[in-house]
Structure 1
């Protein structure tokens, strides 16, 4: 990857320039049987559309706080990188099952992005609210939740390319996780260090079953493979697999590293 990259969005742009067709994120939900694979180009297109939605439709500005109430999911990765592209600070609660903590995260944010399981807590946000069904292939809600923008309805019409109105400052806050505020530059620095510690490099395939509620989960499930020029096999509800099934997945997906 380019050594001058200083934000996660920079890392994605470098990956797109290097090899847009290679797989970047392969997502499994072992509760539903869903599997989706996104190339660098496909993920970057989702990121661009989402960043345009943030900037043009939701009128965010750099430094605005976005409560990201989503589990480990390919669409969560999209939102994290879209926030990086626009200079929005993504804040993740430490435990999505802790209703009080999730509500507190939402109430202090300028806008909120929620999955179907945290809609009640997301209503604590007085700003814009966006809802994701997290159904296969990014499908919309059968019945849109009241008071929310349905992401799957709004995002398809957004532009395929994104340019921020103002350059994103790598040294500005970009992410709040584990109660710690990280700049874009610090995310990249830590991701590169984690990639080196795990022995990740170009072509590495890291299977992660960690949730996105900690730095370890975000690093393994997105940032470290991206920084290394590798890819991630992101698995939700991985505990539903037995040892033999997990081994078969590793073989089928050409996994080189595993984090659970």
Structure 2
């Protein structure tokens, strides 16, 4: 079973319409809410894009030069659905997924496959003026399907995150959820970054691994957090 299936299948069986990821960006005023179904649809679209256009499969290395953002969650889940190995060093990756501000850095890493650039725009606008060969995620992902089935089974011993296998990442995420006191009924307010594997496990995977709900804040206005936590009915804070 892929890491994505292991994370999302129990959520989709239990309560697919429940808010799974609620994203705020206080610099732009953006608020986006994704249910379990919507998250799975975005992950499936991404997985189809990565498999069909980038040949991402089990063992393909992928690096994410991206902030803690709902689209980052979608592309990581999509990559893991293909069986990809997410690594923290772009120079070691076959493909680099980056935001528009880091396209040059991604190209400088010289990934053997290429670069997929995300605008992170709330309305799905793409990026203008991309260098030749760089894939514009927002433009290309629209044409891909909302369902995904790997062509071949992915063994849980396959590497998933910085050398750790799918089984090890799942075990770590569940253990960290326990240590952070996150339960399936919790709604977790977080400002944590996902730039390291430990940050990604704590800030995203531990929440998904137990079927909790995440309220992720980017560029947080600290003066709004108490009211936001109350309005979103948050029960935990990272």
**Aligned partners of 1:169, 1:6: CA distance in 2, in Å?**
7
Aligned residues: 236
2:129 is the alignment partner of 1:175: no
Call closer, same or farther: CA 1:247–1:191 in 2, change over 3 Å: same
**Aligned partners of 1:216, 1:165: CA distance in 2, in Å?**
30
Compute the TM-score of the two structures, normalised by the length of structure 2.
0.93
Residue of structure 2 equivalent to 1:7: 3
The root-mean-square deviation of aligned C-alpha atoms, in Å, is 1.7
1:95-106 mapped onto 2 (5 Å cutoff): 105-106=89-90
Residue of structure 1 equivalent to 2:97: 113
2:139 is the alignment partner of 1:153: yes
Residue of structure 2 equivalent to 1:254: 233
**Quick one: which of 102, 120, 132 aligns to 2:118?**
132
Question: Which segments of 5 or more consecutive residues in structure 2 lack a partner in the other structure?
Answer: none
**Aligned partners of 2:78, 2:2: CA distance in 1, in Å?**
15
2:64 is the alignment partner of 1:68: yes
Call closer, same or farther: CA 1:219–1:106 in 2, change over 3 Å: closer
Alignment check: 8 A CA contact 1:8 1:187 kept: no
- Shift in Å, 1:107: 3.0
2:216 is the alignment partner of 1:200: no
Compute the TM-score of the two structures, normalised by the length of structure 1.
0.85
SS at match of 1:138: coil
**Aligned partners of 1:111, 1:76: CA distance in 2, in Å?**
15
**Aligned partners of 2:127, 2:13: CA distance in 1, in Å?**
34
SS at match of 1:113: strand
1:28-67 mapped onto 2 (5 Å cutoff): 28-67=24-63
Call closer, same or farther: CA 1:197–1:108 in 2, change over 3 Å: closer
Question: Which segments of 5 or more consecutive residues in structure 1 lack a partner in the other structure?
Answer: 93-104
Alignment check: 8 A CA contact 2:22 2:34 kept: yes
SS at match of 2:77: helix
